Amino acid sequence: MQLVFPTSGAAEILGRPVGDVSVRRRIGYLPENPYFYDHLTAEELLDYYGRLFGMAAADRRQRIPATLDRLGIGAERRMALRKFSKGMLQRVGLAQAVLNDPEVIFLDEPMSGLDPLGRRDVRALMLELRDQGRTIFFSSHILSDAESLCSQVAIVAKGQLAAAGRLSDLQHFAVLGWELVMAGVPAEALERIRARARRVQSIAGDRYVIDLPPDGKPEEMLRELTAAGATVVSLNPVRETLEELFVRRVAEVGKGARA
């Protein structure tokens, strides 16, 4: 978008150099904490941007209501934007980012300011767009979002690229342990398995979290405890999270910079 200019280097997008203006017809962009024009309504804003995209009147008449519907903006679309809440503005921002049916979409902190319902909606939208074959770049400091949505990630620390690639390639995929949550565990069964676990923590009453080492054979323990009358709440492998990777890589970049 050429909002800032590079100090050096070149880049291309969709086969055109990054400064090319016409390629922006095929791109969508949502800025962080978007702010538009107080005096316009949501419909008028999309119409303005639609014209800038060079969309024909008939196109706009069809796409604008459809996009507003998809983003869950109902009768508010005729209200002036100055009356919109932060969450509503975020939806409008997303609407204008997808209005032109873009092939590549840039989302800067798309989840910011949204309640859990909104976050779920946006996540669903992003997956839908991905399934339609579009490419989505999004930036977020909520690493769990990246973890659950992204096929590839890039970590930028102090303006430098610290890591990039598929999540599965980046993360230690090896299992570092197991986390087993059981309910209704009789006391003597608990004492019996305590030695095999790294840690046993009581949550409430007779519900326990059992931390096992990687070779702790969780299936066996599970069979044993269920035979003793307990029920399974959950069983999860413990791997390195994106967060731990992120912290590790940022520290490395920091050390590199100092060296």
- Return the closest-CA partner of residue 162 out of 244, 240, 246: 246
Query: What residues contact residue 117 under an 8 Å CB cut-off, 6+ apart?
Result: none
User: Bridge partners of 220?
Assistant: none
Q: Which residues of 149-182 are buried (b: 16+ CB within 10 A; e: fewer)?
A: bbeebebebeeeebbeeeeeebbeeeeebbebeb
8-state DSSP, 136:
E
* Cβ atoms within 10 Å, residue 64: 23
**Cβ-based nearer residue to other proteins, 22 or 234:** 22
The shares of helix, strand and coil residues in the chain, as percent rounded to the nearest 5, are 45, 25, 35
Q: Which of these ranges, 31-39, 61-69, 179-187, 239-247, lies near other proteins under the rule CB under 8 A?
A: 31-39
- Using the rule CB under 8 A, is 139 a contact of other proteins? no
State which of residues 18, 52, 117, 257 lies at the interface with other proteins (CB under 8 A). 52
**Cβ-based nearer residue to other proteins, 61 or 199:** 61
Count CA atoms within 13 Å of residue 163 on its CB side. Answer: 22
**Cβ-based nearer residue to other proteins, 50 or 177:** 50
- Using the rule CB under 8 A, is 150 a contact of other proteins? no
The span from the CA of 192 to the CA of 186, in Å, is: 10
Cβ neighbourhood burial of 108 (10 Å; 0-12, 13-18, 19+): middle
Query: Least distance from C-beta 137 to other proteins, angstroms?
Result: 13
Count CA atoms within 13 Å of residue 202 on its CB side. Answer: 9
List the interface residues with other proteins, window 92-131 (CB under 8 A): 93, 96, 106
Query: Least distance from C-beta 45 to other proteins, angstroms?
Result: 9
- Using the rule CB under 8 A, is 39 a contact of other proteins? yes
- Using the rule CB under 8 A, is 29 a contact of other proteins? yes
Query: Least distance from C-beta 51 to other proteins, angstroms?
Result: 5
Q: How far is CA 153 from CA 134, 167, 244, in A?
A: 16, 6, 14
**Cβ-based nearer residue to other proteins, 15 or 35:** 35
State which of residues 21, 75, 174, 227 lies at the interface with other proteins (CB under 8 A). 21
State which of residues 8, 22, 132, 234 lies at the interface with other proteins (CB under 8 A). 22
**Cβ-based nearer residue to other proteins, 47 or 121:** 47
Residue type, 128: E
- Using the rule CB under 8 A, is 4 a contact of other proteins? yes
- Using the rule CB under 8 A, is 3 a contact of other proteins? yes
- Using the rule CB under 8 A, is 208 a contact of other proteins? no
**Cβ-based nearer residue to other proteins, 84 or 106:** 106
- Whether 109 contacts 145, CB under 8 Å: no
Q: How many residues bind other proteins (CB under 8 A)?
A: 30
- Whether 187 contacts 219, CB under 8 Å: no
Which residue ranges make up the site for other proteins (CB under 8 A)?
Answer: 1-5, 21-25, 27, 29-31, 33-37, 39-40, 48-49, 51-54, 93, 96, 106
